[in-house]
C-alpha cells in the first residue's frame, strides 16, 4: 500500500496487535501533538479504541449485554467461579440434557477456544471447571443438504467515536464446522469437537452444498453464498443480517462513553483512533443470530 515503515516518532499510522497505550512512541507522539497548534498538527491514527475490554472480552461481554438490554441476543452465560450460585440455580431448572438427549450447557475457556459439554451439575464440578464460562449451547440452524453448524463473523469498522460513525462490511467471515452436527445423544457423546465447535473450519468453496450459490454470486463471497442458501430454504437472510447489524450498533453505542473517557485519559482525540471488530454470531434453529464473541 506504499506505506513506508519508520523507526522514529514521526509516523502517521500506528498499527499493533495489542493495545498500544503503554507504548513509548505513542506517548511521545501524543505529547508532540499537544505542543503543536491544531492547525499545524500532523494527523496520526492508531488502530485501537480505548475502553473496548467490556465488549471484546468473552468474560466481560455477558455483563455488557445485560447493561445494554440485549441479553436475549446471546446465549445465557455465567462466569465461573464468580457466578457459580446463579449457574447452579439455572441448571436446577433447565437440567443438563434437552429432549433429544443432547447436552444443553457448554464450558468455555475465558481466554481462547477449548469448549466441552457440561456433564455434571454439581458445585464441585463447576469448581473443578473454573476458571471458565458456562454457556447455554446454541441449537444450530441445520440447512438441508449441509447438516453442519455454522457461524457468521460480521466485520464492523468504528472510524470515529465523536461523532459515532460505524460501517458494516457486506462481506463476512462464514465458518462451517468440519463435520456434520450430531442430532442424537449417542452421536454427540462419541463426536469429536469439530462437529459442534468451530475451531478449524471447512472453507465454503470446498463444500458441494455451496457450489451453486457461490457460482451465482458475482462477488464469489461467502456472505453472498450463505444468504442465498438461507433464502433457498425459506429464511429471511436480510432480516438476519439486519439483526446482527442492530446488535453491533447498539453495543457500540453503549460503548461510546467508555471509549470517549478512555481516549481523554490517554490525551487522544476521537479522530486519532479507529477499530475493526468482528462480531461472531451463531444462527440458531429459529434462524435468530446469537452473539457468541467479539
- 247-291 pLDDT, tens digit per residue, is 999 999 999 999 999 999 999 988 899 999 999 999 999 999 999
DSSP 74-113: S--EEEETTTHHHHHHHHHHH-SB-TTS-B-EEEE-SSS-
Q: Mean pLDDT lowest for which of 22-36, 43-57, 167-181?
A: 22-36
Cα torsion 123, 124, 125, 126 to 10°: value is: 50
Question: CB–CB of 281/289 below 8 Å?
Answer: yes
Nearest C-alpha neighbor of 291 from the set 133, 72, 83, 59 = 72
Strand ranges (DSSP E) for 100-164?
105-108, 115-117, 132-136, 150-160
Quote the pTM value.
Answer: 0.91
Do residues 228 and 215 lie in contact, with contact meaning Cβ atoms separated by under 8 Å? no
Residue located via cell numbers 466441552: 116
pLDDT in tens, 91-139: 999 998 888 778 889 998 887 667 888 888 899 999 999 999 999 999 9
- Evaluate whether 160 touches 271 at the Cβ level (below 8 Å): yes
pLDDT at position 182 over 90: no
CB of 68 within 8 A of CB of 254?
yes
Query: What is the structure's pLDDT at 193?
Result: 67
- Gyration radius from the chain CA atoms: 22
Amino acid at each position: 500500500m506504499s506505506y513506508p515503515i519508520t523507526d522514529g516518532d514521526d509516523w502517521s499510522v500506528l498499527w499493533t496487535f495489542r493495545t498500544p497505550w503503554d507504548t513509548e512512541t505513542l506517548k511521545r507522539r501524543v505529547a508532540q501533538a499537544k505542543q503543536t497548534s491544531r492547525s499545524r498538527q500532523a494527523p496520526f491514527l492508531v488502530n485501537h479504541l480505548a475502553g473496548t475490554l467490556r465488549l471484546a472480552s468473552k468474560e466481560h461481554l455477558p455483563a455488557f449485554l445485560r447493561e445494554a438490554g440485549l441479553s436475549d441476543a446471546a446465549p445465557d452465560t455465567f462466569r465461573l467461579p464468580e457466578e457459580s450460585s446463579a449457574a447452579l440455580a439455572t441448571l436446577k431448572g433447565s437440567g443438563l440434557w434437552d429432549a433429544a438427549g443432547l447436552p444443553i450447557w457448554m464450558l468455555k475457556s475465558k481466554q481462547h477456544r477449548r469448549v466441552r459439554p457440561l456433564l455434571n451439575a454439581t458445585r464441585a464440578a463447576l469448581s473443578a471447571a473454573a476458571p471458565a464460562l458456562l454457556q447455554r449451547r446454541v441449537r444450530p440452524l441445520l440447512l438441508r443438504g449441509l447438516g453442519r453448524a455454522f457461524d457468521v463473523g460480521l466485520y464492523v469498522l468504528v472510524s470515529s467515536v465523536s461523532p459515532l460513525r460505524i460501517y458494516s462490511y457486506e462481506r463476512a467471515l462464514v465458518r462451517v464446522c468440519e463435520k456434520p452436527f450430531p442430532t442424537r445423544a449417542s452421536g454427540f457423546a462419541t463426536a469429536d469437537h469439530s462437529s459442534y465447535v468451530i475451531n478449524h473450519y471447512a472453507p465454503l468453496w470446498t463444500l458441494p452444498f455451496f457450489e451453486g450459490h457461490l457460482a451465482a454470486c458475482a462477488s464469489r463471497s461467502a456472505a453472498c453464498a450463505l444468504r442465498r442458501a438461507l433464502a433457498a430454504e425459506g429464511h429471511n437472510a436480510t432480516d438476519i443480517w439486519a439483526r446482527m447489524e442492530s446488535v453491533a450498533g447498539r453495543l457500540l453505542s453503549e460503548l461510546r462513553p467508555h471509549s470517549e473517557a478512555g481516549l481523554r485519559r490517554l490525551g487522544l482525540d476521537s479522530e486519532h483512533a479507529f477499530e475493526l471488530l468482528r462480531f461472531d454470531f451463531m444462527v440458531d434453529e429459529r434462524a435468530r443470530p446469537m452473539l457468541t464473541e467479539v
